[in-house]
Structure 1
Amino acid sequence: MLEVLNGFLLGYFLVLCTISALVPLLVKPIVACFSRPSQLERKLWDEIVMLKCQQKQISMKDEFAAYSKLQRRIIKLEAELNENSQDRLSKTLAIKGTIHMVLQVVIGLIIIISVIFFRREPIVALKGDLFPLSTLLKYPSDTPNAISTHMWVIISNVSIRALLKPMIS
């Protein structure tokens, strides 16, 4: 029912379409490299933990002034830590969006250039006659009942995205 005419292109476009569909998953580990907490954030966090330990050792009833002083210091440091974390998160979102866009554009350009370069190559040939669809499926190839590179990329892209949608979402 199906005869593979060009196995290399079949696999090549399947891999490209799969990578294109998996870009959201590929972006996460790349962004993780850029979004680590800074040295200042780690230092603030360590100081907050240390102050909270000191505060637990102080009796609130007996030494209210010292307890309150530590509490104000903790609140101030937590506010500073939150501000730094928000800055890092906004930068992370910008980096994530940029990397996602760049990867999609690069993969898209590779697919487009490849489709243009291999436009006359049929990928697979179907047994039997697909009369109403045969012209559309084979365009611009001359092989009867073939699926051209253009249509193969469209079919692969739609199929792979449909299959991987549960994993990506």
Structure 2
Amino acid sequence: MYHRFQYLIFFLSILVVIKMILLLSITVISFLITFIHFITKPVVALLTSASAEEKQLIAEISKLKEELENISLRQEYTAYVKIERKIVAAQAKLNEERNLHQTKKLMYQYGIPYGFQALLSVILILITVFYRYTPIIVFNGSQHNFIPFGPILRFPTGIDGAVSVPFWIFVNNYVSRHVASYVK
């Protein structure tokens, strides 16, 4: 009999820990979804900085332009034209590099934040599906009826005075978006 009582206490303590983890994880995930663009902005900036090849081409073009300024068009026409052609070729290569860089930057700029947002949303959906009948918080039913909102708060748990996982997710998303409206 004593061992069954210990197992019951152990099981109940695990349920309490799961509820606390759900409470905190849903709150953190909701705020992460809302603020993911602020969080990923430095990461995207770091990943999309100018490449070494692009920096080298810019330095080469500026060096060739300095050489071009030192050459007289009338006295050394062939040297002037050769350097000018090198500048045009380097600028064409630089434009090509910048177009590739812009494509990469656009992919990172939208892929990283929206990818994380989608991943976190799927996690919230999975939490909702697997824990929809688990109450996050249970108040004393006789003292806290929450009339007329009690059925909405406890749906689909059916426990009086309970706050369900779907309702908790809804509240956290609303609060995080409201907080974000003040931050922007």
> TM-score, normalised on structure 1?
0.75
Q: Structure 2: 5+ residue runs without aligned partners?
A: 1-15
Partner of 1:143: 159
Partner of 2:10: none
In 1, the alpha carbon distance for the partners of 2:181 and 2:76 equals 57
Q: More relative contact order in 1 or in 2 (CA 8 Å, sep 6+)?
A: 1
In 1, the alpha carbon distance for the partners of 2:162 and 2:66 equals 73
Q: How do 1:1-169 residues align onto structure 2 when only pairs under 5 Å count? A: 6-56=19-69, 58=70, 65=77, 70-71=83-84, 73-125=86-138, 128-167=144-183, 169=184
SS of the counterpart of 1:36? coil
SS of the counterpart of 1:131? coil
SS of the counterpart of 2:163? strand
SS of the counterpart of 1:88? helix
In 2, the alpha carbon distance for the partners of 1:72 and 1:45 equals 15
Q: Give 1:93 shift.
A: 1.1
State the structure with more CA Rg.
2
Summarize deviations over 1:129-166 as a string: whole Å, max 9, x none.
Answer: 43222101111223323321101101101110221235
Moved more, 35-44 or 65-74: 65-74
Q: Structure 1: 5+ residue runs without aligned partners?
A: none
Q: Letter of the aligned partner of 1:51 in structure 2?
A: L
Q: Letter of the aligned partner of 1:113 in structure 2?
A: L
> TM-score, normalised on structure 2?
0.70
Percent identity over the alignment? 25
Q: Give 1:76 shift.
A: 4.1
Count of residue correspondences: 163
SS of the counterpart of 1:124? strand
Q: Note the aligned Cα RMSD (angstroms).
A: 3.0
Taking a change above 3 Å as real, the CA distance of residues 132 and 63 of structure 1, as seen in their structure-2 partners, is farther
In 1, the alpha carbon distance for the partners of 2:76 and 2:33 equals 60
